[in-house]
Structure 1
Amino acid sequence: MASKDRRKRHHEEKDSESDDEYVPYVPLKQRRKEQLVKLGAKLGRANLLKLEEERHASSGNDTPGSNRGSGGGGGEESDNEDDEDSQIGPSAGMSLLDQHSKLKEKFEAKKETAKEKQLKEEMKILESVVEAKALKGVSELAKGIEYTDSIKTGWRPPRFILQLPEEYHDKVREKYQILAEGENVPPPIKSFQSMKLPKPVLNALKKKGILKPSPIQMQGIPTILTGRDIIGIAYTGSGKTLVFSLPILMFCMEQEKRMPFVRNEGPYGLIVCPSRELARQTNDFLQFMFTQCSQEGMPSLRSMLCIGGQPVKEQLDVVKRGVHIMIATPGRLMDMLNKKMLNLDVCRYLCLDEADRMIDMGFEEDVRTIFSYFKGQRQTLLFSATMPKKIQNFARSALVRPVTINVGRAGAASLDVTQEVEYVKTEAKVVHILDCLQKTAPPVLIFAEKKQDVDAIHEYLLLKGVEAVAIHGGKDQEDRVRSIDQFRSKAKDVLVATDVASKGLDFAEIKHVINYDMPEDIENYVHRIGRTGRQGKHGIATTFINKAIDESILLDLKHLLIEAKQNVPPFLMQLESENEKYLNIGGEVGCSYCGGLGHRITDCPKLEAMRSKEAAGIGRKDYLANSSADW
């Protein structure tokens, strides 16, 4: 009774103070809901529902009892002081348009907060996978040896180039899309003559049809000639091999003139390649340059091919005569070093071609083993078409005052390649290859992930009367060499291969690349299609996909096509991931671990696979050549 009397007196007092009609008490939660319903048509249903959920989560348990002891309007006024979100509705004192703008600003602010959380999470993941141990030799790490100055050379840029203002060099880099980062970056040079190359070298380049340097060569060759360590990143077919081959040839010429190499001496320069075919190709180019230069009176140089699948005795014969340059695959090289068949006592020049593959996926120790055989400071060069930031940052620990030269985005596809993606069922892929072969004239290169598929495709093409050869890691070295030579000489029209042929190999006038299946790694896809459209020529790449392919790889492919301004088929365009809104945050596009554009490091399938293998203790997969013999 007492409580009823108090309520009665309370309402009588309010009636005496105001002529307003009596308004019954409505809980705060219900009042807010009514306001949101009124504004639904103007502000958009989706935003309001999100706002309501966020309010409910932040306000906790709003019960009518929390406003006990206050009148119908008093509780609402006190809540308005603490919660700006309640300033909505017809009585808010502002127009609906202003209220909409205010809500939009609050929603964007909350989105930024979510991005910040995503970046913090990614930083933690990246820190956990970055190798704490520097990429140096064992003795250097043990003794704490650290080099601070680059190797000194006798080469200097021409005086007229040094006299040009820095603004001119910046304009040249901007024109050719060259991004050079580092301390005191040497100027780019636009002609081989201005690089002070000897006339026999220039004549040899002319016979190869190389008349002027490509963008990576403009900046890379002068930088290496001055003795600087570099990380060179450029699209496939841009002439990276020439960037490290010409300077090593010049340095060896200089050493031979000063003091000729004697028996069992050398090498002075070491080039490490990920596959036998790439090593052989690099050696063939250097042999051509040596022959042309010696015919015009320059000192004779010797190179040695140190790869698996060949007799060690033949390779030791070259060492016994004294060798200037060694081109090797890591497996045979480490085997010969461990058995003391050769040494790197006088070696001062080290190049890792396709370097990201050698220091990625657990191969750091292999590279450290090679580094430990050097007796002094070396000039280190790392080259690749695909090198994510994680690998670049880690590789810098092995370099002295490095210069990073980037032509195009690391991992980007060449714009000279027209990429066509076709949906083909698994059982129809082999038959569909014949239709794709009609698109262009030969030569054509067909890639497959598995060795069994390569053999099956090869047999099918032979039955259909197609002149085809095949290579993969399971074949003998003689068969691999014979197949490559026949395809290169155009005696055969089609080469069927695993990824052993995808990295660095240069085939003249390939017009068409067919991907029988999508590789497990988007970087391998970039390397594959880079076998065509080289040196400014145009090419076509056709890729078969279907539902059996992992969605994360398809998302990477979709965004790679968008970046290269290629036609994206509808079945790819409709693919969307939950984290697509975070693909470009913090200045980093896509994944900072593998370089894929369709996901972030939090969803990286490559990182997840690596961690799974480490946890299960499974042996590492040879991503370089699909064959342990190459290592």
Structure 2
Amino acid sequence: MDQPQQNQLSDDNLKSSKKRYKTHSSDDNDDSDLDNYVPYVPLKQRRQAKLAEISHKKLLISGHPSEDDESQSLPGSDDEQSQHTTNQTNVDNELEKLRRAKLSLLDQHSKLKKKAEAKKENDIEKQLKEEEKILESVAEKKALMAVSELAKGIQYQDPIKTSWKAPKYILNKAEESHEKVRKKYRITVEGESLPPTITSFRSMKFPKCLLNSLKKQNIKKPSPIQMQGLPAVLSGRDIIGIAFTGSGKTLVFVLPIIMFCLEQEYKLAFQRNEGPYGLIIVPSRELARQIFEIIEFYSQSVALHDRKMPRLRTCLCIGGLSIKEQLETINHGVHIMVATPGRLIDMLEKKMVNLNVCRYLCMDEADRMIDMGFEEDIRTIFSYFNGQRQTLLFSATMPKKIQNFARSALVKPVTINVGRAGAASKDVVQEVEYVKPEAKIVHLLSCLQKTEPRVLIFAEKKQDVDAIHEYLLLKGVEAVAIHGGKDQEERLRAVNEFKSGEKDVLVATDVASKGLDFPEIKHVINYDMPDDIENYVHRIGRTGRYGKKGIATTFINKSVDQSILLDMKHLLIEAKQKLPPFLIALQSDSEKYLDMGDEKGCSYCGGLGHRITNCPKLEAIQNKQASSLGRKDYLASGAADW
């Protein structure tokens, strides 16, 4: 380096050192520089200061402070007072640490446990608040009422009055005795002025001809849902009936409607084109036909046993049947109508039928109808009513969301629940097998050997139903198949052949899962796990009915969503079924929140393996609505351009 450059650098260093010296030595010449300046403290000095502070604290704790400390701690000013308070706080903290250090391990564990429980309670409270917000956001804003009633602000305050009254000895019983019966049969009832429970058909004042018909069907004693449901319906109350599949829900609305129609016919005979007085709406054609046949059996048997009894006319209104045949019954005056929503709306709009005198409405599998998209159709049907009606809603699975929605249309409803809503029947032995997709159809043959016929096989897709049906026929198995793609005549023939015992196996989609009563089904096979745990409950409910035992086998593999498997796992635990190892190993972070609050599991879909905050069904519906909204906006803009 050149000499001039070195001299210049040394001059610069000298200037900068002088400048630093001036900064230290100047007396407030530049206040801003002094305020911003933080002097450097060497590491050794910092350690010494820290040790001095610790030793000072120890002296204070021991109670022997030094003279300097005493002089410093004397309160002389505000700053000294605050310093004294700070020191005292630090002392208290140190004392707490020392006390904690002297705790035994057991005491420390209990303290930590209490802290964890308190934290968990806070988390649960947050979770419940979040769930309430979600449930409110998805709750239906429009009530399930007629448009004219909503527009005029019509609200019915009291239930419909009927001429039926319970026997005096039943009414004279104390409420405690009724509660004992409910507790014995695990009946949960909610509502105002609860009707009594009656444990025999004779005490319900049914005529002898109807009692004889029940005996012919080997029905001698009411089931739990009938003990509470029949008195409620006969007394004119609106009800929400929830009970496991095969518990006898159908008779709860069939027997009263027959009694009411007989009474109406006695008072004043139905004229041409008059009626119906009672309307039953169901989601599927097969279920509608089944209920129609049950009503026909009891109404015919009543007329045959007692010639004084009038003959009731029942009409079946479903797609796939000739409207002319249905109109013939209506033209003569119809007492009871069993219908699917689509065909009924078509006939109402064309004024082939009216609901002017209809005072009895029942919706079987009500939650399934709302889930299947019939909600607007049901609302449309309500608008055709003329006056107050008695409304009954029945299902095996009815989540809280649907119950809250249903109550909007009911007058002082009675909610009757036998067991948990959505629970599987304990008479069904549930077996879960891990089967690869390519091996499922072959594994069916070995699975069919578990029991004797009759066997019901469920599949999600129509093409799978056809493939299984063809495979079984090639293997020499007597099988029939039904799904929504087949015509009504073919579906009816398949169901009749299976019911009569001509065929051993029925392969079907979920059209056969809702409410259908097939006698003597020994085994239900789920070829694939449904996307909804409610569908699974309805499927396996086709066996193990009326106290008989049955088996349900379900094939699962990696294609099944984890949330559905978690729902199944907890459903099996609830029913005290054997868990396969791969379900035992399945764990989720949301499982810690499953049993909190009044509602087990999800309050939207009823699944036990998750909460509403991570409900796959709700997420799928929201995604579908979002996508359809986008398409509508696009189509609307396109239409405007045209």
TM-score (norm 2): 0.84
Q: Which residue of 2 aligns with 1:564?
A: 575
- Hey, what's the Cα distance between the residues in 1 that align with 2:51 and 2:557? 73
* Cα contact 1:419–1:541 (8 A) shared by 2: yes
Find the aligned partners of 1:505 and 1:358 in 2 and give their Cα distance. Answer: 15
SS of the residue corresponding to residue 579 of structure 1 reads helix
Could you tell me which residue of structure 2 aligns to residue 275 of structure 1?
Answer: 284
Residues 516-550 of structure 1, C-alpha deviations (whole Å, 9 max, x = no match) = 00001000000000000000000000000001101
CA displacement at 1:78 relative to structure 2: 3.8
1:475-495: CA deviation from partner (whole Å, max 9, x where unpaired)? 000000000000000000000
Aligned to 2:453: 442
Question: Which residue is equivalent to 2:621?
Answer: 610
Letter in 1 for 2:259: M
Aligned equivalents of 1:335 and 1:167: distance in 2? 49
Match of 1:381, SS state, is: strand
Label 1:600 to 1:16 Cα distance change in 2 as closer, same or farther (>3 A).
closer
Name the CA distance, whole Å, in 1 between partners of 2:88 and 2:414: 63
Q: CA RMSD in A?
A: 2.7
- Aligned: 1:252 with 2:246: no
Letter in 2 for 1:531: R
Correspondence 1:174 to 2:222: no
What amino acid is aligned across from residue 263 of structure 1 in structure 2? R
Is 2:396 the partner of 1:395? no
Which residue in 2 is equivalent to 1:115? 124
Higher helix proportion (structure 1 or 2): 2
Q: Report the secondary structure of 2:408's partner residue.
A: helix
* Distance (whole Å) between structure 2 residues aligned to residue 313 and residue 374 of structure 1: 24
1:117 deviation in Å?
A: 1.0
Residue of structure 2 equivalent to 1:62: none
> Residue in 2 aligned with 1:310?
321
Does residue 539 of the first structure (1) align with residue 583 of the second (2)? no
1:208 to 214, 217, 240: 217
Alignment of 1:143 onto 2:152: yes
Specify the alignment match of 1:428 in structure 2. Answer: 439
By how many angstroms is 1:76 displaced?
8.9
1:35 is aligned to: none
Task: Kindly report which structure 2 residues correspond to 1:269-418, keeping only aligned pairs within 5 A, or say none.
Answer: 269-296=278-305, 297=307, 298-360=309-371, 362-418=373-429
* 1:88–1:99 Cα contact (<8 Å) kept: no
Which residues in structure 2 correspond to 1:432-511 (within 5 Å)?
Answer: 432-511=443-522
Structure 1 CA distance for aligned equivalents of residues 223 and 459 of structure 2: 31
Which amino acid in 2 is paired with 1:340?
A: K
The Cα offsets for residues 78-130 of structure 1, whole Å up to 9 and x where unpaired, read as 4575x79x944677453343233222211211111111111111111100000
Q: Which residue, out of 193, 198, 203, partners 2:202?
A: 193
- Amino acid of the residue matched to residue 487 of structure 2? D
Q: In the alignment, is the contact (CA less than 8 A) between 1:613 and 1:619 conserved in 2?
A: no
The aligned runs of 1:98-109 (5 Å cut-off) are 98-109=107-118
Q: Give distance in 2, aligned partners of 1:14 and 1:88.
A: 14
Query: Deviation string for 1:433-481 (max 9, x for gaps)?
Result: 1001101100100000000000000000000000000000000000000
Query: Would you say the 8 A contact 1:461–1:467 is kept in 2?
Result: yes
Letter aligned with residue 474 of structure 1: G
Q: For residues 365 and 12 of structure 1, what CA distance do their matches in structure 2 show?
A: 80
Structure 2 Cα separation of the partners of residues 514 and 544 of structure 1? 8
Shift of 1:339: 1.1
Q: 1:300 to 1:143 in 2, by over 3 A?
A: same
Q: Deviations over 1:413-439 (max 9, x none)?
A: 000000000000000000111001101
Provide closer, same or farther for how the CA distance between residues 100 and 284 of structure 1 changes in structure 2, counting only shifts above 3 A: same
Tell me the residue number matched to 2:31.
none
Query: What is the alpha-carbon distance in structure 1 between the residues aligned to residue 394 and residue 146 of structure 2?
Result: 20
Deviates more, 1:203-212 or 1:241-250: 203-212
Q: Number of residue pairs matched? A: 567
Q: Offset at 1:240?
A: 0.4
Structure 2: how far apart are the matches of 1:156 and 1:321? 32
Q: Deviations over 1:286-323 (max 9, x none)?
A: 11111111112111000000000111111111100110
In the alignment, what sits opposite 1:164?
Answer: 173
C-alpha displacement of 1:183: 0.6
Residue 209 of structure 2 corresponds to residue 239 of structure 1: no
Aligned CA distance change for structure 1 residues 144 and 441 (closer, same or farther; 3 Å): same
Contact 1:466 1:493 in 2 (8 A): yes
Supply the distance in 1 between the matched residues of 2:601 and 2:236 (Cα, whole angstroms).
34
Contiguous gaps of at least 5 residues in structure 2: 1-23, 25-38, 61-79, 632-642
8 A Cα contact 2:341 2:374, kept in partner: no
Q: Which runs of 4+ in 1 moved over 6 A?
A: 1-20, 73-77
Q: Once the 2 structures are TM-superposed, how far is the Cα of residue 132 of structure 1 from its aligned partner? A: 1.3
Choose from 605, 609, 620 the match for 1:594. 605
Instruction: Return the index of the structure with the highest Cα Rg.
Output: 2
Q: What is the CA–CA distance in structure 1 between the aligned matches of 2:503 and 2:49, rounded to whole Å? A: 105
Which residue of 1 is the match for residue 563 of structure 2?
552
The residue type paired with residue 137 of structure 1 is A
Deviation at 1:77, TM superposition (A): 6.8
Q: Residues 371 and 78 from structure 1, CA distance in 2 versus in 1: closer, same or farther, beyond 3 angstroms?
A: same
Change (3 A) 1:270 1:91: closer
- In the other structure, the counterpart of 1:129 is 138
Q: Which amino acid in 2 is paired with 1:265?
A: E
Q: Deviations over 1:29-86 (max 9, x none)?
A: xxxxxxxxxxxxxxxxxxxxxxxxxxxxxxxxxxxxxxxx9xxx998974575x79x9
After superposition, the Cα gap between the structure-2 partners of 1:467 and 1:99, relative to the gap in structure 1 and judged at 3 Å, is same
The aligned residue for residue 262 of structure 1 is: 271
CA distance in 2, matches of 1:562, 1:10: 59
Q: What is the aligned partner in structure 2 of residue 44 from structure 1?
A: none
Identical amino acids, percent of aligned pairs: 70
CA distance in 2, matches of 1:445, 1:16: 84
TM-fit CA distance, 1:367: 1.2
Mapped to 1, the partners of 2:378 and 2:542 lie a distance apart of 27
Structure 2 CA distance, aligned partners of 1:125 and 1:268? 40
Q: Secondary structure at the match of 2:189?
A: strand
SS in 1 for 2:564: helix
Report what 2:636 is aligned to: none
Change (3 A) 1:13 1:207: closer
1:289–1:98 Cα change, 3 Å: same
Q: Which amino acid aligns with 2:464?
A: D
Indicate if the aligned counterparts of 1:559 and 1:598 stay in contact, CA closer than 8 A. yes
